[in-house]
Amino acid sequence: MYSSACKEAIVAKQKAMELHLWNMGEQQRLEEARVAEEAAFAMVGKQKAKCKAALEAAEVAKLIADSETRKRRDAEMKLVGGYEEDEALDSCSVADLRYRKYTIDEIEAATDRFAKNRKIGEGGYGPVFRCYLDHTEVAVKVLRPDAAQGRSQFQQEVEILSCIRHPNMVLLLGACPEYGCLVYEYMANGSLEDRLFRRGNTPPMPWQYRFRIAAEIGTGLLFLHQTKPEPLVHRDLKPANILLDQNYVSKISDVGLARLVPPSVADSVTQYRMTSAAGTFCYIDPEYQQTGMLGTKSDVYSLGVLLLQLITGRPPMGLTHHVERSIERGTFAEMLDPSVRDWPVEEALSLAKLALRCVELRRRDRPDLATIVLPELNRLRAIGVDNMRPFELDNSILSSPVHSEVSVQDLRSGPLHLQSGYESPRSQRGELSIFGRR
Helix (H) or strand (E) holding 197: none
Q: Among candidates 289, 291, 313, 286, which has minimal Cα distance to 301?
A: 286
* Interatomic CA distance for residues 60 and 378, integer angstroms: 48
Query: Collapsing DSSP states into helix, strand and coil, what is residue 20?
Result: helix
Hey, how many other C-beta atoms are within 10 angstroms of the C-beta on 423?
A: 19
Q: What is the DSSP letter of 283?
A: T
Helix axis angle, 345-358 to 296-312, nearest 10°: 150
At 361, phi and psi to the nearest 5? -65, -35
Q: Which of 151, 144, 146, 114 is nearest to 130 (CA)?
A: 114
Q: Is 236 a catalytic residue?
A: yes
Task: Concatenate the DSSP letters of all residues of 315-333 into one string.
Answer: -STTHHHHHHHHHHHT-GG
Query: Is the separation of the CB atoms in 286 and 361 below 8 Å?
Result: yes
Question: Going by DSSP bridges, is the β-strand pair 100-101/172-176 parallel, antiparallel, or unpaired?
Answer: parallel
Instruction: Give burial (CB, 10 Å; 0-12/13-18/19+) of 265.
Output: middle
Q: Which of 74, 86, 134, 236 is catalytic?
A: 236
Packed helices 345-358 and 319-329: angle between N→C axes, nearest 10 degrees: 130
Residues with active-site annotation: 236
